[in-house]
Amino acid sequence: MIPIKPIESEIADHLDHSEPSRVAMSYLKPGALNLAALPPLSLYVHIPWCVRKCPYCDFNSHEAGGEIPEEEYLAALRADLEISLPMIWGRKLHTIFIGGGTPSLLSAGGLDRLLSDIRTLMPFDPSVEVTMEANPGTFESDKFRSYRESGINRLSIGIQSFNPLHLQALGRIHDGDEARRAVDIAHAHFDNFNLDLMYALPSQTLEEARKDVQTAIYCAPPHLSLYHLTMEPNTVFAKYPPSLPDDDTSADMQDMITEVTSAAGYAHYEVSAYAQPTRKARHNLNYWQFGDYLGIGAGAHSKLSFPHRVIRQARYKQPKSYLEHMRQGNAVQEEIEVARDELAFEFMLNAMRLTDGVEANLFAERTGLALNRIETALNEAERRGLLYRDYKTLKPTMLGQRFLNDLQQLFLPDAN
């Protein structure tokens, strides 16, 4: 963490924005926060295009339908970061995540330009983690060698399944053989990568799920992400629901995953994340520990801390709209200050996803609030057997991990 700047410096940094008087007055209201230091800063870069929209996907992704406007979009990303610099002066990047969509649709030259622009504008932590999402259907060995030379040091590969029938049901553009080839290419050029898998897929049996997990472990990825398929609103699956495993079968799959990954030496450190020693995803950990992140690109979200407030931003979601607003000089569609009561809830919403929880003093460090502000909710969580705490730790119990929503809801503002 770095020391924060004086309040006067932060206000001055915002004077080029549209409502400087409103910004300045937000520091004068009673009960303002008092952050002693700013949390680590991450950068998220959104590439919104994909080859084909998957029927379960509710992310901000759009079918490319031909060549993507790479040059224009990269120029917009650089301008987006430049415009955001006054809010993050003096801070260095600890992690970068390039997500989508399918970022591996970028050309090798385009990716090199993107990282070069970021380096030009911002200092990096010496051990910066730079992750890029990739779809197995877009893997080319030479291209990914170039990505590595440009500075990508971690991949996140969207396998989802090795079973061709399940891949077809999920609308993926790759097959099992392409998934294995992608893993081989990743091993050839990267010593750190993640495999994304999903379970509780349409008509999937427990044994089919087990085979997927065992196949993934056989591929020896340093990190695994295993997600339960959910029916998200405004997706094809929500409109035309497939036949899914029942709750008991899904629970059996979760138990199987815990057993198989543990036996293979993977630590289950977050709800959906499993890692070999020293291979936890630092970018994601920063989210769960309520760190800061600047998001640039279409639909990207930001959470940024200042000495006496925390703000959230959202950029225009549609790629065309984002590019149009960037040409006008600002793609931020919405900016809000997070209310004090919401800060407490948001911290616990994230922190309780970690199986080992967080240090108790991190609550005050990241929210500017005293821990006793949520004393009633903490006591109730302990009474229900959902939370363990002592003078140094806040962590979900095994019961709390299984009933995570119940634990998190105790910290809602209207629940206290």
Which of these CATH numbers, 2.40.50.140, 3.80.30.20, 3.20.20.120, 3.40.50.300, describes 38-285?
A: 3.80.30.20
| Contacts for 29 with CB less than 8 Å, ≥ 6 apart | none
Cα–Cα distance for residue pair 43/297, rounded to 1 Å: 11
Confidence class for position 68, pLDDT limits 50, 70, 90? very high
- Residue spans of the domains in the chain: they are 38-285, 340-416
Q: Indicate the Cα dihedral angle 15, 89, 46, 288, nearest 10°.
A: -110
Q: Which two tokens stand for residue 303?
A: 């959470």
User: Region 342-369: what's the mean pLDDT?
Assistant: 96
Cβ contact 101:59 at 8 Å: yes
The pTM of the whole model exceeds 0.85: yes
**Which of 104, 78, 103, 92 is closest to 331 using CA atoms?**
78
Cα–Cα distance for residue pair 44/310, rounded to 1 Å: 18
Cβ contact 304:92 at 8 Å: no
Confidence class for position 177, pLDDT limits 50, 70, 90? confident
Yes or no: domain 340-416 corresponds to CATH 3.40.50.300: no
Cα–Cα distance for residue pair 12/318, rounded to 1 Å: 32
Question: What's the pLDDT score for residue 416?
Answer: 59
Cα–Cα distance for residue pair 33/349, rounded to 1 Å: 19
Query: Phi/psi zone of residue 228: left (φ > 0), alpha (ψ -120 to 50 degrees), beta?
Result: beta
**Which of 141, 159, 315 is closest to 227 using CA atoms?**
159
Question: What's the pLDDT score for residue 47?
Answer: 97
Helix, strand, coil % over all residues of the chain, rounded to 5: 40, 25, 35
| CB environment 145-171: b (16+ within 10 A), e (fewer) | ebbbebbbbbbbbbbbbbbeebbebbe
Tens of pLDDT, residues 218-252: 999 999 999 999 988 888 887 888 899 999 999 99
| CB environment 5-41: b (16+ within 10 A), e (fewer) | beeeebbebbeeeeeeeebbebbeeeeebebeebbbb
Q: Rg of the Cα trace of the chain? A: 22
